[in-house]
Structure 1
């Protein structure tokens, strides 16, 4: 079997995603964007058990999948989903001196991510995750995706 295209072009796909997320969030650099994206992914991951997280990771592009599961202490139990404001503060708390996340960062990353995943698969997996998962990735303005 030949190497899947998603792995052959993983770096290029990731760079396209980062550029999209950077522009959507109004950030200046790919490093700023990386930290914001990582913060959003880790904030979401904290609310899933291992099985749920692996299911979710399967619908992410390869590099985002790797970021999502990297350095994970799977012995820490999941925490519940909460209001958007609290989630946004958690996103901002990762490396706070080097993090350019705003209150809109979850929406910004969700907007960009939705343009880089198979939406049918993405929605199907979100429907199988805990209450609050779909709301986390919800984008109010479908024209943005």
Structure 2
């Protein structure tokens, strides 16, 4: 069997996402978009049971899936979904001296992410997750 296209093009697809996230958020660098996305993913992940987080990760393209699980402490205490402002401050707390995520970070990542996933699969997954999950990914 040949290597699936999603693996063969993983780097290019990941970079395409980073450029999209950078432009959506009005940022100047894909490095900044990377940190913003990682922060958003970590904030979301902290609010899910492991099996729910894996279900979510499985709808992401390979590169974003890898970023979603990077540095995951599966023993970290789960947090409740809060208002977007509070969760945005949490996004901005990742590497605070090098994090330039705007106050619109969650919305910006949600918009960019939706352009790089199967939206129907994403929405079907989110519908099965705890209350607050679907709202988190609403642009």
Query: One fold, TM greater than 0.5?
Result: yes
Aligned to 2:102: 102
SS at match of 2:44: helix
- Residue segments in structure 1 that go unaligned for 5+ positions in a row: 140-145
1:61 is matched with 61
Offset of 1:43 from its aligned partner?
0.6
The answer for the alignment partner of 1:4 in structure 2 is 4
Distance, in Å, in 2 between the alignment partners of 1:134 and 1:100 is 25
TM-score (norm 2): 0.98
Q: Distance in 2 between matches of 1:70 and 1:29?
A: 21
Q: Which runs of 5+ in 2 are unaligned?
A: none
1:55, distance to aligned residue in structure 2 (A): 0.2
State the superposition RMSD in angstroms.
Answer: 0.7
1:83 aligned partner: 83
1:114 deviates by: 0.3
Distance 1:17 1:75 in 2: 29
Q: How many residues align?
A: 139
Measured against aligned partners, the alpha-carbon deviations of 1:80-127 in whole angstroms (never above 9, x if no partner) come to: 101011001000100111001111010001000000000110000000
TM-score, normalised on structure 1?
A: 0.94
Regions of 4+ moved over 3 Å: none
